[in-house]
Structure 1
Amino acid sequence: MANKEVKPEGKESSWKDFIYNPRTGEFIGRTASSWALIFLFYVVFYGFLAGMFSLTMWVMLQTLDDYTPRYRDRVANPGLMIRPSYLDIMVNSSNFEQYKKYTNNLADFLKVYNDHVQEKNKMCDEGVYTIQDDEEEKKVCQFKRSQLRQCSGLGDTTFGYAEGQPCILIKMNRVIGLKPRGDPYINCTAKRDTPLLMQYFPAEGRFDKMYFPYYGKKAQPNYVQPLVAVKLLLSEQDYNTSLTIECKVEGSDLRNNDERDKFLGRVTFRVHVTK
């Protein structure tokens, strides 16, 4: 039979005895030695778990490359993004306060493309890949802001927004090791019956091969993606209308028609300009 504590006559047990029982020396139902054994068990148990977790992480980290992701099969094709970073662009060309958020966004984005910054990078050979497999520190090819000409923001700080012909910058997302075949270029079309006049910078909206392949942020910390600027040459008939414009990368093996990913090799945005 289990031993039962004999209560002194005239005394009832209370919650105070449960917290600390001076007759048995128990604290919350256990003696000091019992609590010490439980504490020691959990120290050993959780110490073992922490050791196993640390060992597993260490082994896994030994399989990683500081410069190249181990698995890249799901990002073999780049997406396209635009600047200013809005997919719905509403412009009142006579109201600077209304559209300055777009021009400020473009100006901030292009700071790293300033000519004096890019002159620190290397002049590369046009039309050929910049292969650098043997060099630990990879060089970066120049892409000067002035190459965007009328959309550079140098001569016209409003990027055409003040005249109702806004500029849109298109960039290709970075993919390590990507070497697009062919001659990739950007082609934009308006989703309407009549074509919309546009002007591309650099000429013909091309992404030169010299900016590929990309070797990663650690190997090329100063790398900048090549850009294509599209100037929308809107006329009076195009104002006060919401224009849906789709831009695709064409002329290469890069995918641009995956219905499951609307940004894979293409980007769609809307522009509405009023005077």
Structure 2
Amino acid sequence: MSSNSQVQNQEPTEEPTKETNQEEKEAQGEEKDAAKEEVKAEEKEDKNEEPKEQKNEEKKEKKKEKKDEKKKDENKGSCKDFIYNPRTGEFLGRTASSWGLILLFYLIFYGFLAGMFSLTMWVMLQTLDENVPQHQDRLPSPGLVIRPHAIEIFYNRTNPSQYEQYIGELHDLLQHYNDSIQDGNDLCLVGEYTEQDKEPVKKVCQFKRSILRQCSGLPDTSFGYAEGQPCIIIKMNRVIGLKPKGDPYINCTAKRNTPLPMLYFPPEGRLDKMFFPYYGKKAHSEYVQPLVAVKLLLTKEDLDVEQTVECKVEGSDLRNSDDRDKYLGRVTFRVKVSQ
């Protein structure tokens, strides 16, 4: 009896557990189905949303294109209206009367400026002397130059082609000093300045080519180059109003142990005061500056040997030893004559 009663007591407890398990399974299945349906619904919504976004973007792009076209049309219209607006009659943004007033203003303004400029130039020109510069920036002491125009005079005396150029330069220089031309100039007082500040036409003192004697190119057309004793002509640069004090002359020395014999023409290499002062190219158009010719008396021992010669202005207040300018009052050249 006891065993039967126990069996009867156990059977009702097992049946409800089976029912609960089935209910749980059914509930879980329903939940899975619901989740699947939600996923499907979301997928459908995503699919539906994508074409909507694309359509919206396309609409926006079309609107932008229409706006850009409208702006272009407006710009074209505004450019045409700016050049000429037929409604208002404006050209480049202004009417004809406005353009007329502006042009009149600038005509008066620039005319006034041109008048002021012309007036100031005229006043300034009244203070200038056409013959003498208002301010001389040049140094008061002139420089020296030589002819032939060469620092190195190298040649073979047996080959005329090597010194023809030197001879040609000397002949060209002395053309203005021909006696036939200088006879038309004035005979001035030797050793005295030829001052003529108040005279409108300045006279020119004679300097004849024949004064240079052996270096004149008259008795010897080769100026001594053929015989190996070349002539060098030295002249001083022109400076307006220059009146050197003392008795200026040219002195040349050779840089070697023994003195180099030389001849000077005019004698002693003098630069006479009568050729000073110089009044400028316009007032003194026919002016000829004094020259000094130096003949180098080279011997057989001096041939094929380079000779360095320096010439300076001596005997006056003219400067001849400025380290910054090697041509101020002096000049240096080299000579080499080959057999």
Q: TM-score range by the shorter chain?
A: 0.7 to 0.9
Q: What's the offset of the Cα at 1:215?
A: 2.0
Q: 1:211 and 1:65 mapped to 2: Cα distance?
A: 22
Which of 161, 173, 176 is the equivalent residue of 2:225? 161
What's 2:156 paired with? 92
The verdict on how the C-alpha distance between 1:11 and 1:264 changes in structure 2, with shifts beyond 3 A counting, is same
What's 2:259 paired with? 195
Aligned 1:118-197 pairs, distance under 5 A: 118-197=182-261
Name the structure with the higher strand share: 1
Gaps of 5+ in 2: 1-68
- SS in structure 2 at match of 1:75: coil
Q: Which has the higher contact order (CA 8 A, sep 6+)?
A: 1
What's 1:66 paired with? 130
Q: 2:224 and 2:95 mapped to 1: Cα distance?
A: 80
1:212-254 deviation per Cα after TM superposition (whole angstroms, max 9, x unaligned) = 1222222221110010001111122322233221110001111
Q: Does 1:248 align with 2:248?
A: no
Name the structure with the higher helix share: 2
Gaps of 5+ in 1: 1-6
1:114-170 deviation per Cα after TM superposition (whole angstroms, max 9, x unaligned) = 000000001112122222234221211100000000100111111111111111111
Q: What's the offset of the Cα at 1:180?
A: 1.2
Q: What's the offset of the Cα at 1:30?
A: 5.0
Q: 1:267 and 1:237 mapped to 2: Cα distance?
A: 25
What's 2:274 paired with? 210
Q: What's the offset of the Cα at 1:18?
A: 6.8
Seq. identity, %: 64
What's 1:4 paired with? none
Worse-matched range after superposition: 124-133 or 256-265: 124-133
Q: 2:80 and 2:303 mapped to 1: Cα distance?
A: 82
What's 2:18 paired with? none
Please report the RMSD computed on the Cα atoms of aligned residues, expressed in angstroms: 2.8
The verdict on how the C-alpha distance between 1:109 and 1:49 changes in structure 2, with shifts beyond 3 A counting, is farther
Q: Does 1:108 align with 2:172?
A: yes
- SS in structure 2 at match of 1:106: helix
What's 2:325 paired with? 261
Normalising to structure 2: TM-score of the pair? 0.70
Count of aligned pairs between the two proteins: 268
- One-letter identity of the residue aligned with 1:179: K
Normalising to structure 1: TM-score of the pair? 0.85
- One-letter identity of the residue aligned with 1:78: P
Q: What's the offset of the Cα at 1:43?
A: 5.0
